[in-house]
Amino acid sequence: MSKIIVFGASGQLGQCLQHVAKERSITDIVFLPEEQADILDTGKLQAVFAQYQPAYCINCAAYTAVDKAEDEVEIARKVNKDGAVNLAQLCGQHGTTLVHISTDFVFAGTGNKPLVETDEATPISVYGLTKLEGEQVIPAHTSQYFILRTSWLYSEFANNFVKTMLKYGREREEMRVIWDQAGTPTYAIDLAGCILTIIESQSQAYGIYHYSNEGMTSWYDFAKAIFELSNTPVRTVPIRTEEYPTKATRPAYSVMDKTKVKTTLNLAIPHWRDSLKECLSRL
């Protein structure tokens, strides 16, 4: 297989890529150490591309602190937009295919039908806006790109909703969780598998794709499933979004349609509950 380089290797998805690459015996993949992997340092980026001459570049690096982004607009934009420009430019110059991770937060979430890739993106948070800006600047610098929008990412690695619920579920008698936001949890191991399948297939069907697990749920029902499947005896109370105010506004409905990625890659995507069971068994 051709050389693959990964930015953001120490984050949740980066760790999942390491796990899946090992499972699939993919050895020609470089998980860049932090000192080499700053996507805002163009000098270091040029050195990385010159050294590895990668066929594929996977960008898992992002500013993902959704609420903090409302106050840190400049740094969020630098990482999510300028970082994407830097990588896209180098990918274009070196003939490298870019695999870039984006988010369901590019949508306002005011509808009630699963979102397709061509639906209008109108973000309602700084995080969503800067991630959309990152998507929009890539095609100006390279035509060889896959942008994967994903949602509600969790795994046995790093900090995420599942691990937070397990921690609080052990410490508290009651958990109050939002029930009026609908979406789909995504097991980051499954997303990592999709990314590596794109690369292994050598597909040239470039463009934007949606990837999450199958099905839909609310944060409340997701939490209930976590507690039920892990035998955590905690009382779970549904609350409305306005009862848990946050600095950034979240999409009320961000269920994504995965038809495009499934048909293009002949991909079978697990239901979110089945993947949750798998994650909990590993935890």
Q: Which residues are catalytic?
A: 127
The rounded distance, in Å, linking the Cα atoms of 122 and 124 is: 7
* Residue 89 C-beta-side C-alpha neighbours within 13 Å: 12
Tell which residue, 187, 17, 26, has the closest CA to residue 99. 17
Report which secondary-structure segment, H or E, holds 178. strand 174-178
The rounded distance, in Å, linking the Cα atoms of 31 and 17 is: 9
**Phi, psi angles (nearest 5°) of residue 157:** -105, 150
**Tokens in use for 81?**
């937009």
Compute how many other C-beta atoms are within 10 angstroms of the C-beta atom of residue 276. 23
Helices (H), the chain: 12-23, 42-52, 73-77, 83-94, 126-137, 161-171, 188-201, 219-229, 259-265, 272-282
**Tokens in use for 244?**
């848990």
Strand partners, 256: 115
The rounded distance, in Å, linking the Cα atoms of 225 and 231 is: 10
The rounded distance, in Å, linking the Cα atoms of 235 and 173 is: 6
Question: Contact at 8 Å (CB) between 234 and 175?
Answer: yes
CA of residue 121 relative to chain centroid, distance: 17
